[in-house]
A and B are shown apart, each in its own frame.
Chain A
Amino acid sequence: MHPAPSVILFTVLSGLGFGMLFWLGAGYPSVTGWSAFAFFTVAYLLAVGGLSASTFHLGHPERALKAFTQWRSSWLSREAWLSVASLLFMAVYGAGKVFFAANWILFGGIGAVLALTTVYATAMIYTQLKTVPRWNQPTTPALFVLLSVSGGALLTNQLWAALPLFAIAIAVQIYAWKTGDTALVTSGSSIESATGLGDKGSVRAFEPPHTGTNYLMREMVFTVARKHAMKLRIIAVVLLALPLLLLLASAPGHLLGALAVLAHLAGVLTLRWLFFAEAEHVVGLYYGKR
């Protein structure tokens, strides 16, 4: 699949933002006044910034409000509702913290659950696609939620939670690569099933329908940078593990903290790029590619 920068930024930034909102809503850290203002501003900038990045890849962003209508069947529509609901609940909770030093735990609790559900809905947009076997497995929502919650814990300075969550996220990611690498083969889709000609013999794509490229190939048969996949996997894991090492220091200051955040951000961006670039869509089978 084509790793569109807008979609990578959207999932990474909004994942971090909603991860922060989860911890803030759950009362970690329990801050008020200017300190709360700073935390909530960063969380909202990330969440809303990510969501607005997602509209950049739309053909008609001016019609984006129509995406709220089909929540009964569409995960994309559900994500739209959940994100807005989460932002609204957390806005009330945040206003209480910032202006009244009040702790309206009902709003915070509901907001925190909605924030996590939003990230889950984002993941389900990809997980639901049977056409991309690498995505169509339970590790996809698990990873989206883990990376969001661990990044959120790092940004809200909840190191007691962040460090074990990083370790779990890395382990799940490695497991997801292991199962993902064979997902297309085990899905049962092949050039034989795609053409229905498998019982006649072995099938080979002889001639594509067009001499140039097309939308399908640009969007779904993206094979360009896969040769670097293994190096990028290692880089991503190292970047994700860096905060673990940096923050194990006895009294990590702001500088080490900022380094840890940057390493985490770069690690998740690399992972998300790989998430798209490595995903094989079954339509590639018609072109003799994967």
Chain B
Amino acid sequence: MTLLPETTEKKLGLVIDLDTCVGCHACVVSCKGWNTENYGAPLSDQDPYGGAPSGTFLNRVHSFEVTPKEGAAQLVHFPKSCLHCEDAPCVTVCPTGASYKRVEDGIVLVNESDCIGCGLCAWACPYGAREMDQAEGVMKKCTLCVDRIYNENLPEEDRQPACVRTCPSGARHFGDLGDPESEVSLLVAERGGMDLMPEQGTKPVNKYLPPRPRDAAIDILAPLLEPVATGPKGFLGWLDKALEKI
């Protein structure tokens, strides 16, 4: 069914901290590793060891340079995967009903046995979250590791998306963003979590935490870190004095 549910019981999603992400791409690797051998068709690569490698990924990390009006430019690493939108345009355009949004937790999934591989859902997504697998001819996207988060065969600490479990800097958080008291919702409220491309009207569930201002924090300590003696010492000091006298 490609009509979107009026509401979902939960709004499971990710909160991604752009302040702490170090751009290591570990989430990309763990995502590919888990999802190539679990839900649905494997994530194929084309010409992986050749001159023009290309492949299917559900999560990719961009890097952006932000130059403020004053002060130094800052590099922001920017992981991007499906945002499990409330008004997901990728779902409503699907002609076959392969794309759907789950009522129980809001996860957007593709039923691969119904997918005809027309690619229209990938066109409808503003975030580039859907990629057609070139070997299988079906659309692949982030499942929020639906086969991990409810999986009672896994130890409890592993019942979260692979990208969240693996992130070494704690930049990724998983939870119910529909519950205002959940840890992720409190984090979003505290840090001013934001939507990507709000003008597209997709109402994304995933939120991004903006980078904290850096230079302001350094300014407090900077006066204490001034060097005590600025003049040269030793041989250079003698040379400096000698040259001054000439």
Interface residues of A (CB under 8 A from B): 1, 57-61, 63-64, 66-70, 72-77, 80, 125, 128-132, 187-189, 191, 193-197, 200-216, 219-220, 281-283, 286-287
Contacts and interface: CB of A to CB of B under 8 A. Distances in A.
B200 interface: yes
B65 A129 contact: no
Contacts of B66: 197, 200-204
Contact of A59 (B92, B115, B125): B115
Q: Which of A57, A80, A129, A216 has the most CB of B within 10 A?
A: A216
B89 A131 contact: yes
Given A58-B117, A200-B74, A205-B62, A282 B95 contact: no
5 contacts: A130-B126, A189-B197, A193-B199, A195-B196, A200-B211
Interface in B64-106: 64-69, 73-76, 78, 80, 89, 91-98
B2 to A, nearest CB: 5
Contact of B122 (A75, A76, A210, A216): A216
Contact of B131 (A125, A128, A216): A216
A283 B125 contact: yes
A201 B65 CA distance: 9
Given A200-B68, A215-B132, A206 B63 contact: yes
A60 B126 contact: no
B187 interface: no
A216 B65 CA distance: 22
A212 B74 CA distance: 25
B169 interface: no
B128 A125 contact: no
A283 B198 CA distance: 14
Given A1-B123, A63-B116, A201-B68, A194 B197 contact: yes
Given A59-B137, A189-B126, A220-B122, 8 more contacts: A61-B116, A70-B97, A74-B95, A125-B93, A213-B54, A214-B55, A214-B57, A215-B122
A59 B211 contact: no
Interface string B205-237: 000101100000000000000000000000000
Contacts, number: 198
A142 B128 CA distance: 29
B93 A66 contact: no
Contact of B196 (A1, A196, A209): A196
A93 to B, nearest CB: 27
B155 interface: no
Contact of A131 (B78, B124, B134): B124
Contact of B114 (A63, A75, A194, A196): A63
Contacts of A130: 89, 126, 200-201
B137 A282 contact: no
Interface in B183-204: 194-201
B95 A286 contact: no
Nearest to A205: B64
B161 to A, nearest CB: 18
Nearest to A63: B116
Contacts of A210: 57, 60
B52 interface: yes
B56 A215 contact: yes
Contact of B123 (A129, A209, A211): A129
A197 B116 contact: no
